[in-house]
Amino acid sequence: MRVRGTALVGLAVVATAAAAFLPATGTDGSSAAPRPAQAPQPAQAVPAPVRTTVFDGYGAWVDRYDYATGRQIVTPATIDVMARAGVQVLFLQGATPAGGTLLAPKRQRALIARAKRHGMRVVAWYLPTTKPISADLRRLRAMNRLKGVDAIGLDAESRAVGRVSTRTARLLSLIKQTNALTDKPIGLITPSPTAMARWSTTFWPGYPFAAAAPYVDAYLPMTYWAWHRKQTTARGQITGDVNRLRAIPEVAGKPIHVIGMTTWKSDARTFAALSRELELAGGSLYDWLTTPQALRKPLRGLRR
């Protein structure tokens, strides 16, 4: 098991990691001793962030409804459009808890291949339920083996396990075991820290931002300010989420890629400006198909 420090994860690591697999430990909580790693940087309240290359820049999200259920909407030609728009990272849902091992494998491989042709990094993401952990790990292993996948995204928001303490323990077990099965960077996709602290306080009390830090490489908060128009603004929630994450000593220095949600051009401009002001690794809107074309030009400001 590799302890994920704040050291730079370069392209050479991404290229060589694809062939490096470690066997998973137990399926319900057992773990092996972490492998030695570079010592972490001293924690600061709001540090100068250290970026990885994988989560850097302007991203686009594709989920199962876009390409894997019924008629395929997102096709390789859509990836061409993304490339012309300046997209640098493709976040592609690789599996679903309700299905088999991989979503539409033939279609998925074609999308990945086209993204790689355009020089994009590919993050295969998955929404685990931890019911059971063994099924989540089976899908994550299959995603990890896909040719062209540069990183794994864990969409850690499911409340399928009702008791909060059990849900948290099982999520941390899954994160540790995912760390053990791959040397690729792991991005933790989290609910909005600001939303959970201010408006959705019962969603997941004690969310394990800090406890997950040794096992993940970047944080991707779902900063969906469009859901909270009456309480905040794009600037307010983006700044709030980033500052809350950087105030956690264990998280300080980890790259942050903010996932936003809006249909407003003014929000897109604000997002792009803040991404540089706050020195974010990158940013994206969820998802590609629901983002108006008029936003693509201002969103190019997310490029790195």
Return all residues near 279 (Cβ < 8 A) that are at least 6 apart: 48, 49
Q: Is residue 50 scored above 70 in pLDDT?
A: no
Q: Which residue type occupies 59?
A: G
pLDDT tens string 24-41: 344 344 444 443 444 444
Output the pLDDT for position 44.
39
Q: How many whole angstroms separate alpha carbon 19 and alpha carbon 25? A: 19
Output the pLDDT for position 287.
97
Average pLDDT over residues 180-200: 97
List of domains in the chain: 47-302 (3.20.20.80)
What is each CA distance from 132 to 43, 97, 137, 156, 170, in whole angstroms?
Answer: 35, 10, 9, 15, 9
Q: What are phi and psi of 125, to 5 degrees?
A: -115, 160
**Mean pLDDT of the chain, nearest integer:** 88
Confidence label for 53 from pLDDT (cuts 50, 70 and 90): confident
pLDDT tens string 99-136: 889 999 999 999 999 999 999 999 999 999 999 999 99
For the chain, the residue count is: 304
Average pLDDT over residues 221-246: 94
Q: Long-range contacts: 197-200, Cβ < 8 Å, 24+? A: 197/244, 198/231, 199/228, 199/231
Angle at CA 79, nearest 5°, toward 50 and 102?
80
Nearest to 193 by CA among 206, 182, 183, 184: 206
Average pLDDT over residues 132-142: 98
Average pLDDT over residues 215-223: 98
Beta carbons of 220 and 187 less than 8 angstroms apart: yes
Q: Which residue shows structure tokens 């790693």?
A: 37
Output the pLDDT for position 231.
85
Confidence label for 5 from pLDDT (cuts 50, 70 and 90): low
Output the pLDDT for position 52.
56
Whether cis (ω within 30° of 0) applies to the bond prior to 183 is no
Confidence label for 62 from pLDDT (cuts 50, 70 and 90): very high
Confidence label for 202 from pLDDT (cuts 50, 70 and 90): very high
Average pLDDT over residues 136-165: 98
Q: Is residue 51 scored above 80 in pLDDT?
A: no
Among 2-16, 52-66, 83-97, 159-173, whose mean pLDDT is lowest? 2-16
